Amino acid sequence: MKYNINNLYFAKCRHCIMDIINVTDNEGHIMSPHPNYVDYYTILLLKDDRYINIYNKGLRYKNISQVDNNKEHYGEDLIIEICSLTDYINTGYKKISTKECELIDDTIQKTKSLKLEYGYKK
């Protein structure tokens, strides 16, 4: 499938989960379950005022600025940072494929030295 580049965005996202492994907080109190998260980078399609992951059409996103407390949104995916894909590619192309998006995604991550982060948000 080909996507219009004007509707594609490179985004840093967070998937919030509940971790049932016992850990302790700064005062030594056991926290179980406790909030946990996974940060990842992906390319999103803006369609009908909603962001959709081009690699997994079932994922829907909320912007972190629209969420009161992101620790309460377990199982959801939040957008932390987002920018137009046209900032990174030649705008002479009008449409690109999913495979081309994968290559662009990989290149951006390597260029910006972006890393996946895991762990309890402090």
Amino acid at 19: D
- pLDDT score for 60: 80
CB 5 within 8 A of CB 98: no
How far lies 25's CA from each of 32, 34, 70, in Å?
10, 10, 19
Mean pLDDT by 10 residues, the chain (122 residues): 87 78 73 72 90 87 68 74 84 82 82 54 40
